[in-house]
Structure 1
Amino acid sequence: MEDRTNRLSRRRALGALGAGGAALAALPAMAQSTAVEPRSTVSEPRRRFDADAPPNVYFWDPDMVAADDRFWGLMQPNAPIQRLWTGALWAEGPAWNSVGKFLVWSDIPNNRQLRWLDEDGHVSTFRAPSGNSNGNTFDFQGRQLSCEHLNRRVVRYELDGSATVIASDFEGQRFNSPNDVVAHPDGSYWFTDPPYGGQLYEGAPDAAGGPSNPDGLFDPTLGQPPGIGDFVREMETATYRVGPEGTVTRVASEADAPDPNGLCFSPDYRTLYVASTGRGPGDQGPGGEGNIFAFDVGDDNTLSNGRVFTDCVVDGVKCGPDGLRCDVQGNLWASSNAGRNVGYSGVTVWAPDGTLLGRIRLPEICGNVCFGGPKRNRLFMAASQSLYSVYTGTQGAAPA
């Protein structure tokens, strides 16, 4: 049905334009245990993404796949999906700086942040070491926020070049490994705290006896600066809010959204979306099932009415969510990790009522997304080893 829907959608869009009308979002270990034979997974002939690849987009990019005709109104007909750079080990946390016109993202295992310049596409190391940072964002004052796996904290880089620790513990217990963070207009920051940084590849395991190092076989001090190696996982996975005055509040428990990962607000800040991914190192709790939860945000900053927004199953394939962003129309753009089901990794786009609108197929698992560019109409996708982008027909709902 997907191929037929896709063809019909494109035919309608082409007809509308021809008549003068305007046709006119998991963790690497979460590969599926059983592969399926996916339908229409790659373009034919299979495209190349390298800099010397021949042109392959003559109208709609062949790796934009519609499930609903509304999808075409969100995309730009003559805009190709572009690979901007490759060379990371695991790319995550893209964030757009509107003043500097550059994108920052994390290369977690390489313990660095990278920067892509809009002016000429130049990529350079932005910050190293980065504390094995994962999620990044810029707040409403233009300050960068980063979630550090290694140091198990959230930090803010001030405009004068100094750094401030925003949150490192809750009720006297150290965080597991903060993953993603978003800013609220009231000056607060909201972030998730799963355990994915408690491993050798993306941070450091617990000290001997901790959940991710129960037998003490790992030495978490190897290759690390002084002071690293004493942390032990103490808390359940959860979602938090840091108020403007610095008070940390747990807004969603492990029972509400286990193993929380990416998160974002709806454009009116009345709904919080949280991606619940799979079990992490040393997990003793239930573990996420690859769903996206939605919560109502009250005037007192409490969450209520938690529900599964989508199970992220497309054509019978689990498109495990990670990073999330909303556009100005309230549609949710979610990165997709479909494991070995080639052609279902990339980005899924969901209407505010949970209806799947369409997909953007990438040749790599996508870890996180953000809107950027001077007009905030360009979707950046941090996908495994590479950075991709595509211009859209909409705009991101919030800074970074």
Structure 2
Amino acid sequence: MLHHSKFLLLFSFILALFIVADTQGQIPGIGPLEPVRRISSGFSFTEGPASDIRGNIYFTDVPRSRIHKIDLQDQISTFLENTSGCNGLMFDSSERLVACQSGLGRIIRIDISSKSIQPITEQFQNKRFDSPNDLVIDKQGGVYFSDPVFGGTMGQDKMGVYYVSPTGQTSRLIDNLTRPNGVILSPDEKTLYVLSSQSNVMAYPVNTPGQIGQGRVLVQLQSSSNGDGMTVDSQGNLYLTRPGISAIEVVNPEGKSLGLIQFPEAPSNCTFGGADFKTLYVTARTSVYAAKMAVIGHRFATPGFSLDVDPISQNVQAGNSTAFTISVIPVEGFSQTVNLSATSSNNQISAQLSNSSVTPGNNVMLMLNTTSNIIPGDYNISIMAIAGPIVVNQIATLSVTSAGNTGDFSLTLQPTSQTINAGSSTSFTINAQAINGFTDPINLNATVSPTNSNITNVITSPIISPGNTTGITVNTSANTPEGTYNVILTGMSNQITRTANVTLNVVGVPDFAVSFEPNTVTITRGQSAQLTFNVRRSGGFTGSVAIAGPSAAALKNSKLKLTPETQSTTGNSVSFTIKSKKKSPAGSQTLTFVAMDNDERIRMATITLILQ
């Protein structure tokens, strides 16, 4: 059992938690957790942020007809120019960027690798659309989009909201709103939300994909604080951009306002992204801002997997061979078998996969063989992955140089596989061997796939001569996720590139997590209820866990009493009794409990009480 002083530490932590929750500008349970930060500025008018599967953000600069990209390190690059005024963006389940091409009055699909453009819909009843503005993609692959008029000549007889089915059939769903603007679906896709520029936020029941029922007013806007684009988090809360008051308003699914998040400039649209999908990215006039949130954003049209090719480009001499590693990375537990194929843009490069089908979470080797008389140059290697209706493409580059010296080298790593605990390190031996008398020094580099910032490596001698050995040490942090990783060694010398790879299995460290089951309890005032606090143990954790609920002082205003206030356990669950009085205020309350182990690691769980 922990000492009394550690329970005091727990109570101090709870008090600090309540103080942080009341920080000005922060919406409890929502965020932002940190001050809003400006990522980049100097644009004309930013719009349409969209996240790819990795959390990179794409957004438009409408007047300049450009689409820009923000990577996970907040580095800005220009993805596409001359876009004819592209506005709203979203990725489909095949990782293609779907865009509202306002200048040409159509919805298009952009291939990320080749940047080729394919129209999805251009007309309704033989007339072009007005100015497609915003869109959302459902799980079936259909596209809902708004088509208001912002200057120019109307192509349609009415401003509307449309649906394009996966087979390309277009229908008009709504035609009675003033400048329909932002569109988004609820996480369960049973409600379509439409934000009219100078009117209301409407909610329409989705009967079947592309068919909606009678709409209702969810949020009534004032003309002085009009709306624009919007997004939704995994809990179903809406994030409405309110340019008139330079803020984003967070609204729950019942239409109740939870609070405002202020920005230095008037926001136009927003989306969630980042590696953990808990960063709110906001386009606002000349800038793009980011806010770290407590909630996870909802992913729309999520593909079941992504492809990672390592390295993405290589050099090889004519007549020689090299290899790429293709990793299939699952999304949200996707486990369906993925079928792979690879083709070259030159028939004198043959491509052979070590396996043509793979389960997500694993990888295959792609061997490329060149003929001795191939013309030197850069060639595209097209890789296609298919699982049911999901198609993901990736392009690698092979740079072929003239044959020259016929000498070569090989690389091996030993042992071929190791298992370690997260937070520990291990080593492999690198062996470089000469072929046909090759003597030039070899530059070594190593990467880990799937990429994880918690895994690093150090090569003892990054430059090695054939016939010698060196070592590579792989370090993991305690936060490294459990799983199988590939350590890929690349050696380069005289435009020759060779690779070798080994398997690293990372298992978890002893740890624990906490939760309530159930996490919502209804109590009749004057009665009591049992609260079951669960301790989920992993990695062989067997230590004692001390749990403290809200203090009597914290519960005084609610006329509630918790028994006991604290307790410890080496088991998997404990029970608390919460007693209410007949004069306890009706409504819902969220109680936070804090747990601490002997190493003073802290975990928290919340439970919602509904008093009636």
Would you say the 8 A contact 2:21–2:28 is kept in 1?
A: no
Map 1:244-255 onto structure 2 (within 5 A). 244-253=166-175, 255=176
Shift of 1:63: 6.6
Pairing 1:352–2:256 present: no
Query: CA–CA distance in 1 between the matches of 2:23 and 2:62?
Result: 31
For residues 208-246 of structure 1, the C-alpha deviation after alignment (integer angstroms, 9 at most, x for no partner) is xxxxxxxxxxxxxxxxxxxxxxxx633310001100100
Change (3 A) 1:17 1:265: farther
For residues 119-156 of structure 1, the C-alpha deviation after alignment (integer angstroms, 9 at most, x for no partner) is 2x221221111111111111122110111111111100
Would you say the 8 A contact 1:63–1:360 is kept in 2?
A: no
Change (3 A) 1:112 1:304: same
Map 1:165-184 onto structure 2 (within 5 A). 165-184=119-138
Pairing 1:135–2:95 present: no
Shift of 1:332: 0.4
Shift of 1:300: 5.5
Query: CA–CA distance in 2 between the matches of 1:22 and 1:129?
Result: 51
Query: CA–CA distance in 1 between the matches of 2:37 and 2:49?
Result: 16
Shift of 1:181: 1.1
Pairing 1:269–2:178 present: no
Query: CA–CA distance in 1 between the matches of 2:216 and 2:234?
Result: 22
Matching residue's letter, 1:264: I
Query: CA–CA distance in 2 between the matches of 1:97 and 1:357?
Result: 28
Change (3 A) 1:180 1:60: same
Matching residue's letter, 1:332: L
Would you say the 8 A contact 2:231–2:240 is kept in 1?
A: yes
Would you say the 8 A contact 1:89–1:109 is kept in 2?
A: yes
Pairing 1:239–2:161 present: yes
Would you say the 8 A contact 1:17–1:23 is kept in 2?
A: no
Matching residue's letter, 2:165: G
Would you say the 8 A contact 1:290–1:318 is kept in 2?
A: no
Map 1:109-188 onto structure 2 (within 5 A). 109-119=63-73, 121-158=74-111, 161=114, 162-188=116-142
Query: CA–CA distance in 2 between the matches of 1:124 and 1:386?
Result: 14
Pairing 1:377–2:303 present: no
Map 1:52-131 onto structure 2 (within 5 A). 64=25, 71-77=27-33, 79-99=34-54, 101-119=55-73, 121-131=74-84
Change (3 A) 1:23 1:171: farther
Pairing 1:308–2:308 present: no
Shift of 1:76: 4.7
Q: How many positions carry a matched residue from both structures?
A: 292
User: Among residues 321, 326, 332, which one is paired with 2:232 in the alignment?
Assistant: 326
Would you say the 8 A contact 1:173–1:235 is kept in 2?
A: no
Matching residue's letter, 1:251: L
Pairing 1:20–2:17 present: no
SS of the equivalent of 2:29 reads: helix
Query: Rg bigger for which structure?
Result: 2
Change (3 A) 1:157 1:22: farther
Q: 2:493 is matched with which residue? A: none
Query: CA–CA distance in 2 between the matches of 1:357 and 1:22?
Result: 22
Q: 1:55 is matched with which residue? A: none
* Root-mean-square deviation (Å): 2.5
SS of the equivalent of 2:157 reads: coil
Q: Pick 1 or 2: higher relative contact order, CA cutoff 8 A, min separation 6.
A: 1
Shift of 1:312: 3.0
Give me the TM-score of the superposition, normalised by structure 1. 0.68
Change (3 A) 1:82 1:235: same
SS of the equivalent of 1:349 reads: strand
Query: CA–CA distance in 1 between the matches of 2:21 and 2:127?
Result: 51
Would you say the 8 A contact 2:139–2:300 is kept in 1?
A: no
Q: 2:398 is matched with which residue? A: none
| Higher strand content, 1 or 2 | 2
Shift of 1:388: 0.3
Query: CA–CA distance in 2 between the matches of 1:345 and 1:169?
Result: 35
Query: CA–CA distance in 1 between the matches of 2:196 and 2:189?
Result: 20
Change (3 A) 1:18 1:354: farther
SS of the equivalent of 2:195 reads: strand
Query: CA–CA distance in 2 between the matches of 1:260 and 1:144?
Result: 22
Matching residue's letter, 2:28: W
Shift of 1:159: 5.1
Matching residue's letter, 1:350: V
Query: CA–CA distance in 2 between the matches of 1:75 and 1:122?
Result: 24
Pairing 1:299–2:208 present: yes
SS of the equivalent of 2:131 reads: coil
Give me the TM-score of the superposition, normalised by structure 2. 0.45
Would you say the 8 A contact 1:175–1:234 is kept in 2?
A: yes
Q: 1:259 is matched with which residue? A: 179
Query: CA–CA distance in 2 between the matches of 1:133 and 1:383?
Result: 16
SS of the equivalent of 1:84 reads: strand
Q: 2:241 is matched with which residue? A: 335
Pairing 1:390–2:291 present: yes
Change (3 A) 1:193 1:17: farther
Change (3 A) 1:18 1:303: farther
Query: CA–CA distance in 2 between the matches of 1:61 and 1:233?
Result: 50
SS of the equivalent of 2:28 reads: helix
Shift of 1:163: 1.6
For residues 304-354 of structure 1, the C-alpha deviation after alignment (integer angstroms, 9 at most, x for no partner) is 1211111134xxx7321111111111110011111xxxxx21211001111
